[in-house]
């Protein structure tokens, strides 16, 4: 029993060291690493020796500092190679569907369009269904705006200037400036809305999914029919949506602040 406790303690402290190095801005000197982790000097030496022997960290003799080793990079590459956002997000999508009773969609951005990658359909007889694999313009969809609002400003500007602002309904954003203004609003709120901008009979709320670099790699939306779900009810579901999107983001390594 004592052996298992000791092994667990070593593992926990090793993970702490790896997390500290992973979150550091560059490599870390020994003293800074020990101070940041709260480990004793003797324990720090022992853990670093174990991790170094396994190739999980690298010691630079010239700078006398530590950084993550290449084996960590190899593991990360394997994870991303086998990564399937549809599978990772499915549990949260099902929970949203159970809580709202409405369609829940998953999409990614492809240049000036979104592509619907997965959905959990409403159990109600009349549904607003997006066909898997179908595309829609960024400017008139909640998912498109959610996925664009957290891109670098320069990228947003290029997207805005390249887009054709097809008028889908009377509420569709008409030009680049209106689109850019809307992205500022989305970023402040943490979510986007399609308020009858794509179809007159449909509203949706959408939130981005971030990867470990804080880059939006997908988005989740709740889509409802106007006659069935009042706008106020849809707004009441925003916290559920943000919680679901944040949960998926955490699964794929996001460590930033949750959206409000």
- How far is Cα 27 from Cα 22, in angstroms, rounded to an integer? 9
In a domain? residue 226:
yes
- Domain range enclosing 58: 2-79
Q: For residue 246, is it within any domain?
A: yes
Are residue 109 and residue 18 in the same domain, yes or no?
Answer: no
Is the domain of 58 the same as that of 171? no
Check residue 114 and give its pLDDT.
Answer: 94
Asked if 223 and 136 sit in the same domain, the reply is yes
Q: What is the pLDDT of residue 22?
A: 83
Say which CATH number the domain at 163 has. Answer: 3.30.450.40
Kindly report, residue by residue over 122-141, the tens digit of the pLDDT. Answer: 877 655 666 778 899 999 99
- If one counts the domains in the chain, the total is 2
151 and 100, same domain (yes or no): yes
Task: Check residue 95 and give its pLDDT.
Answer: 96
Q: Dihedral of the CA atoms 42, 48, 49, 51 (nearest 10)?
A: 150
Tell me, yes or no, whether 59 and 71 share the same domain.
yes
**Quick one: pLDDT at residue 41?**
87
List the Cα angle 143/98/220 in 5-degree steps: 15
pLDDT at 204: 95
Instruction: Give me the pLDDT at residue 4, please.
Output: 42
Single residue among 34, 64, 79 that ends a domain in this structure: 79
Residues 106 and 186 in one domain: yes
pLDDT at 79: 61
Residue 28 lies in a domain: yes
| Domain boundary pick from 25, 54, 79 | 79
200 and 89 within one domain: yes
Pair 215, 207: CB distance under 8 Å: no
* pLDDT at residue 2 in the model: 38
Asked if residue 127 and residue 191 are part of one domain, the reply reads yes
Looking at residue 73, which CATH number applies to its domain? 1.10.10.10
Q: What is the pLDDT of residue 1?
A: 41
pLDDT tens sequence across 149-172: 999 999 999 999 999 999 999 999
Residue 226 shares a structural domain with residue 137: yes
Range list of β-strands (E), 7-132 = 28-29, 57-60, 65-68, 103-110, 113-120
Whether 149 and 39 share a structural domain: no
Cα separation, 137 vs 241, in Å, equals: 22
For residue 222, being part of any structural domain is answered with yes
State which of 79, 103, 137 marks the end of a domain: 79
**Whether the predicted model's global pTM rises above the 0.95 cut:** no
Q: Which residues of the chain, if any, have pLDDT below 70?
A: 1-8, 76-83, 125-130, 260
Task: Classify residue 257: in a domain, yes or no.
Answer: no
Tell me, yes or no, whether 16 and 88 share the same domain: no
256 occurs within a structural domain: no
Domain-embedded: residue 259: no
Asked, for residue 175, whether it belongs to a domain, the answer is: yes
Q: For residues 230 and 179, state if they share a domain.
A: yes
Rounded Cα distance, 184 and 160, in Å:
13
């Amino acid at each position: 029993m004592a052996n298992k406790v000791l092994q667990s303690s070593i593992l926990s402290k090793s993970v702490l060291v790896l997390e500290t190095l992973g979150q550091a801005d560059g490599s870390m000197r020994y003293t800074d690493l020990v101070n940041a982790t709260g480990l004793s000097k003797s324990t720090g030496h022992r853990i670093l020796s174990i991790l170094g022997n396994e190739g999980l960290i690298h010691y630079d003799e010239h700078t006398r500092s530590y950084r993550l080793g290449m084996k960590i990079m190899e593991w990360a590459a394997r994870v991303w190679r086998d990564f399937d956002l549809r599978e990772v997000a499915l549990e949260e999508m099902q929970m949203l569907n159970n809580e709202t009773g409405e369609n829940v969609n998953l999409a990614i951005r492809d240049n000036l369009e979104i592509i619907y990658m997965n959905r959990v359909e409403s159990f109600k007889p009349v549904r607003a269904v997006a066909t898997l694999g179908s595309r829609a313009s960024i400017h008139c969809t909640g998912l498109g705006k959610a996925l664009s609002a957290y891109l670098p400003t320069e990228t947003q500007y290029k997207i805005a200037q390249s887009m054709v602002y097809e008028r889908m309904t009377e509420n569709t954003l008409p030009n680049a400036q209106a689109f850019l203004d809307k992205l500022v609003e989305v970023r402040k709120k943490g979510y986007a809305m399609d308020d009858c901008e794509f179809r007159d009979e449909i509203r949706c709320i959408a939130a981005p999914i971030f990867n470990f670099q804080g880059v939006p790699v997908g988005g989740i939306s709740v889509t409802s029919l106007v006659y069935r779900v009042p706008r106020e009810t849809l707004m009441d579901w925003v916290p559920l949506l943000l919680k679901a999107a944040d949960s998926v983001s955490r699964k794929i390594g996001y460590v930033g602040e949750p959206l409000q």
